[in-house]
């Protein structure tokens, strides 16, 4: 996959599939499933490591980005640029981390600075305002050189307006919808990985938390009963 390929998908009306991944194994599975873009999210700090919002560092993001890059062979890989955002940090995510592009939630000026350094940018912005204002914001990000947009909380009015106004693909994370060029979602959310999914009424594509709990409980019972473990041959 390439940026040109994603732009071709937009022109042809084919939806772009993106997932957020934080580890080598999920990255491999997502790539094998045929997703078009794997985004290495700084959400790993809160959702996988139990950190506070904004606590994650560039060095930690580099570790995660490298792991995901090792697992992805076909899809494009983007990596979130943690604060403080800067060109030097963006260069490291591409050169050291192996990302194809960097993702940031910033101004057109911030996008322009990174693009001038020769790096593709996946720019995030949020809905909530009037459709006309959001179209202007999207155009500014495109003019600054952004290759992709993540339009969160787009809504059925502003979403289609932005998609029509820009030539670059517009994906949607939180609050996105089928009116955009594609969707992006945390792989761990889609498979129901978190412990909170044990008692959640939200319908996901799977409930890995329940399966994992049952498996580890069964393992513990076998150990305590002195039984041979499933998947292991007796010595």
Domain total in the chain = 2
Token pair in block for residue 106: 């910033």
Say whether both 80 and 124 belong to one domain.
yes
**Within this chain, do residues 229 and 129 fall inside the same structural domain, yes or no?**
no
CB 111 within 8 A of CB 121: yes
**Residue 184 shares a structural domain with residue 219:** no
Same-domain check for residues 56 and 128: yes
For the stretch 30-46, pLDDT in tens is 999 999 999 999 999 88
The domain in which residue 149 lies consists of: 3-190
- Average pLDDT over the chain reads 93
CATH of the domain at 139: 3.20.20.60
- Of 157, 201, 203, 221, the catalytic one is 157
Q: Say what the pTM is.
A: 0.91
* 142 catalytic residue (yes or no): no
pLDDT at 204: 84
Half-sphere exposure of 178 (CA within 13 A, CB side): 0
| pLDDT tens string 80-134 | 999 877 899 999 999 999 999 999 998 999 999 999 999 999 999 998 889 999 9
Examine the domain organization and report whether 173 and 199 are in the same domain: no
218 shares a domain with 131: no
| 57 and 155 assigned to the same domain | yes
Identify whether residues 102 and 197 lie together within a single domain: no
């Amino acid at each position: 996959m390439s940026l040109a390929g994603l732009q071709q998908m937009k022109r042809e009306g084919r939806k772009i599939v993106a997932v957020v991944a934080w580890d080598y194994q999920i990255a491999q599975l997502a790539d094998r499933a045929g997703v078009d873009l794997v985004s290495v999210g700084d959400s790993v700090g809160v959702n996988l490591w139990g950190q506070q919002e904004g606590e994650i560092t560039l060095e930690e993001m580099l570790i995660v980005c490298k792991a995901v890059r090792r697992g992805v062979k076909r899809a494009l890989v983007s990596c979130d640029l943690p604060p403080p955002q800067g060109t030097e940090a963006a260069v490291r995510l591409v050169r050291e981390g192996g990302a194809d592009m960097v993702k940031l939630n910033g101004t057109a000026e911030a996008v322009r600075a990174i693009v001038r350094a020769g790096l593709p940018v996946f720019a995030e912005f949020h809905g909530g305002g009037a459709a006309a204002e959001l179209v202007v914001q999207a155009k500014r990000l495109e003019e600054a050189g952004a290759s992709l947009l993540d339009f969160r909380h787009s809504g059925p009015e502003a979403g289609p307006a932005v998609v029509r106004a820009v030539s670059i693909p517009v994906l949607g994370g939180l609050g996105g919808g089928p009116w955009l060029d594609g969707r992006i979602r945390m792989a761990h959310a889609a498979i129901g990985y978190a412990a909170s999914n044990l008692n959640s009424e939200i319908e996901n594509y799977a409930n890995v938390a329940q399966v994992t709990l049952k498996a580890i409980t069964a393992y513990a019972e076998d150990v305590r009963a002195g039984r041979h473990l499933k998947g292991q041959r007796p010595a």
